[in-house]
Amino acid sequence: MDRLELKNLYDDFRDPKTIKSFAKIIEEDAKKLKRDINIMEVCGGHTHTIMKYGLLQLLPENIDFIHGPGCPVCIMPKERIDHAYILSMQEDVILVTLGDMIKVPGSNGSLQKARSKGADVRFVYSPMDTLKIAKEHPDKKIIFFAIGFETTTPMTAALLDIVIKRDIKNIFFHINHVTVPEVMKELIDSRDVHVDSYNNQIDAFLGPSHVSVIAGSRIYEIFPKSYNRPVVVAGFEPVDVMEGISMIVKQFLQNRCELEIQYKRVVTFEGNIRAREMIDRYFEKRELFKWRGLGNIPKSALKLKDEYKKYDAEYIYKDILPLEEIEDHKLCICGDILRGMAKPTECTVFGTACKPENPIGSCMVSSEGACAAYYKYGNFLKQGKRNG
């Protein structure tokens, strides 16, 4: 190939023949494995690819997936959604957030519902759209409700950077950014607490694609070193995922336990240094953050540094934002699913009381959640070998 065309970046990484060739390589290699391997794909983007392209069907019986917690709206606890709802109901507030948040239910309902009750909620494509809204409404307080993993955090930081530099007085932030390595640690560490499960063994991780573009593969170094879990950072296209799986299988065959990058065309060990600096300038770790379905995880989320308090809606509105924790729905087993202890199809409310249009549990909330992906693409599972 002389010159790369844009369409190569799509077509060649979705090529059915290449996907099948990797399936064949994996099948041959897997025959030589001494035991079954459970791979956790941490990121919801990978879950989506795996289900959309039916990759589970292409894998041998002794390789299975545990669908991880890497869907930022799925793991958002109800109390945080309630914050968004309450803020949006303030008369002089316009709440701005990304489209992913539209349907996520809090205890009073979703932001869509808040809107139907008269709240001014704007769903935007980019945090930068907040600037235009603030300019058009100088009499209103514009609160950017920030969500997402490392991938999306620097964009919030870039918005704050502009707000400070231009001395914009009416933009504020409610920060809900979460971080990946801490929840990966939690999922391994909490394994001993949940020993009664039949399938909570994470043997290896398929590392997130775009979290790693920003943070660098360095954030996973600890897993092969201290947790004896290989990590392969893979891209989101189906060929990327299959090649990533193949690399993991080869590590087991060759008795290696390493951090490898499949997605070399964009991921480096150090990541995007400018973006990381931007994050470090404005954010610091929270002591604890509650993940829906998983509970409190130390140092797993970010907040604005104290010196930027005057932009922090959580601080400014602290008198009206409740801190009490809200229990997850009793019938929901999302916590078990996120820990790899159960498949979505084992949940009694899956596809009946809990559906994407009316989700009870976190994993049904976004198309990147394991339950929503099974619901949308999982028809084959009814006849298939992997029905729970």
Partner 1 sequence: MCLSIPSKVVEIDEEKNIAVVDTMGVKRKASLDLMQEGEVKEGDFVLLHIGFVMNKIDEEDAKESIKVYKEILEKMDFDG
Contact assessment for residue 71 and residue 366, using Cβ atoms and an 8 Å cutoff: yes
Q: How far apart are CA 386 and CA 388, in angstroms?
A: 6
**Residues 126-155 vs partner 1: string with x where CB under 8 A?**
xxxx-----------------xxx-xx-xx
Calculate Rg over the CA atoms of the chain: 21
Nearest in space to 293 (alpha carbons), one of 343, 339, 245: 339
Q: Rank residues 8 and 197 by Cβ distance to partner 1 and give the closer one.
A: 8
Q: Rank residues 203 and 240 by Cβ distance to partner 1 and give the closer one.
A: 240
Nearest in space to 338 (alpha carbons), one of 367, 364, 312, 377: 364
Instruction: Work out the widest C-alpha separation in the chain, in whole angstroms.
Output: 68
Phi and psi dihedrals of 69, rounded to 5? -90, 20
Q: How far apart are CA 22 and CA 316, in angstroms?
A: 53
Q: Of the ranges 75-83, 125-133, 287-295, 316-324, which one interacts with partner 1 (CB under 8 A)?
A: 125-133
Q: Please list every residue from 219 through 248 that binds partner 1, using CB under 8 A.
A: 236, 239, 243
CB of 125 to partner 1, least distance (A): 6
Strand partners of residue 174 = 145
Side-chain half-sphere exposure of 357, counting CA atoms within 13 A: 1
The correct pick among 265, 281, 318, 376 for binding partner 1 (CB under 8 A) is 265
Does 8 help bind partner 1 (rule: CB under 8 A)?
yes
Does 27 help bind partner 1 (rule: CB under 8 A)?
no
Phi and psi dihedrals of 255, rounded to 5? 55, 40
**Residues 28-57 vs partner 1: string with x where CB under 8 A?**
---------------xxx------------
Q: Of the ranges 12-20, 187-195, 312-320, 322-330, which one interacts with partner 1 (CB under 8 A)?
A: 12-20
Q: Which positions lie near partner 1, rule CB under 8 A? A: 1, 4, 6-10, 12-13, 15-18, 20-22, 24-25, 43-45, 70-73, 98, 100, 125-129, 147-149, 151-152, 154-155, 158, 161-162, 208-211, 213-214, 236, 239, 243, 264-266, 272-275, 278, 366, 368
